[in-house]
Structure 1
C-alpha cells in the first residue's frame, strides 16, 4: 500500500486525484475483507433457504448472498428491489448497501428497525429464466452498551445483587463467581438466569454478570463480601452489615468485633452444637447412673433372698435360752439400810447436800 502511494507522487495532479479516489475505495474494501478474514465481522450465510440473520441497531451486517458464479439475481423486500446484479455488475442498489460481486458479499450499514423483515432472492440464467428463489429473515436488535452492578449488604449478611444493562433487546443473563459458574445452591433467592439474585451469607469473591443477545455481549464484575462492622468512625458508632471495603472507615473497633458472616455463623453453630453435646452427655450419665443403681438394688435383693435359711433347733435349746433369759431378769441387788436425809429450809443448805458414806 505504501509503495502505491509513493508511486502516486510521480503522477500528474489531475490524474493523481482520480487514482487516489479509486485507491481509497480499494483500500477500504481491502480493510473490510481483512476484517472478515480475521473474524471481526463474521458474515451471515444467506445462501440457505430460510436463513435467519441478526444485525445490531445502528451498526452493520454482512450477508453472504450468492455464490461467485451467479450470473444474474435480484434481492427484494416485499415487492421493492434493493439490489440487482447482472454479469457481476451492479445495476441497482439501495442506499447503505455495498456489494462485492467477486465473492457475493452484501454489507448493510446504519441498520434501522424497519430493516427487520423477510427478504427474497431470485436468481436467473443468461436467458433471463428464473433458476431459484429463496427467502431470508433479518432481525435487528438493540445491542447492549454497558452494564452496571449494584450489590448491598442486608441483615444477617444477605447480599442482593442487581445487574443493570443499558440498551439491549431480548437479553440473556448468566453469572459466575471466582471464574466458576454460579449455582442455584449459592442463592437465597432468585435465578442464575435472571438479573436479580440474592447471595447466601457465606458467599464472597469476584462476581461477574454477563449480558448478551444475538448481536452483542458485555460483562461487568464486582467483588462481593459482607462483614459485620461494630466500630466508631469520626465519633459516629457504626454497627451493621456492610461491604468489607468499609472496614477502612473505622477508627476503633468495639470489643474487637469484626467478623464476617461465615465466622459469625460458625461461632453460633459451634455454640449450639457444644451445648447439645453437653446436654447429651449429661443425659447419658443420668440414665447410666439410674440403671446402675437399679441393677445394684436388684442384685442385693436377689442375694438376700438367696441367703435366707430356716434352722430348726431342738426344743431343748429353746428351754436353755428361756432359762438364761430368766436368770438375766433375776439380777439381785444387796439391800442397805435406808438413811433419812434432813431437809433444812435454809436456802443456802441446798448447795451443801452431803452424802453419807
Structure 2
C-alpha cells in the first residue's frame, strides 16, 4: 500500500464513537482528490476475528476488502484495513465517493459492533493562497484564484496565533483579502477553507519601521565588531626593539700620506737634554 497525504477528515456523527459497541446512523467523511482518506470503524472490545468493508452506493453490496486474523491479509494497492478496523483509501478519485458499510465479528461469530454506514465525499483540491506584503503601509494581502466561484473563508495567523477571520472580496475570478496590521514582523499563515477542506500558505515577513531599522543596523554593526578578528603578525616577526647601532669611531691613521710621494715617517717627539753638571771648584 502506498501512503500519501491523509486529507482533512470531517465527521458528522449522530453519536460519539467513544460509546463502544454502538452503531452510527450517519458518519460523513470528506476527502481531497489524489490524497489518502480514512473511513473510521466504531470502537469495539474483545479480539476481532473478521472485519470487512463493502460499497453500498449502487444499492447492492460490493465487497471492498476483508481482513481475517487467522489468514494472511488480502493485498490491495488502493485499500487497507487497519488493526482497529478502519479503512484507508489511497489516491482518491471522484468515483470513490459514495456509501460504505463495515461489519466485524469475533471468533465465536458474535458481532463486534452494529453495522455502520460511512458516506465519503470527494472534493477538488483548493489552490494554494498567495501572500503579498506591503511594508510601506503595513498591509498584507492573501489572494487565491479558485477553479470555481465557490465561496471561501480565510483565516490569518501571526506566529501561530489567530489574527483575523473575515470574508473575502471577489473580482475577476480572484478572491482577495487585505489585512491592515500594526506590525508585519514574524511568521504569517493564510488559511482558506471551503466545504470541509482547507489549504494554506506560510511566509516569513520582516517589515521594520524606521526606528526598528536603525536599531537592527546598530545591533548588526555591534555584533560584527565582536566577531571581527584582529590582524595577525607575520610569521617572521620583527623584534619589538631593534638593536642599537654601534657608533662608528673615526679611523685613526697611523701614517699620513702626502700626495705624490712616499709615505713619511711619523715625527718623533722632541727629546729633552740632560741637565748640565756644574764644575767643581779647585
TM-score, with length taken from structure 2: 0.45
Larger helix fraction of residues: 1
TM-score, with length taken from structure 1: 0.37
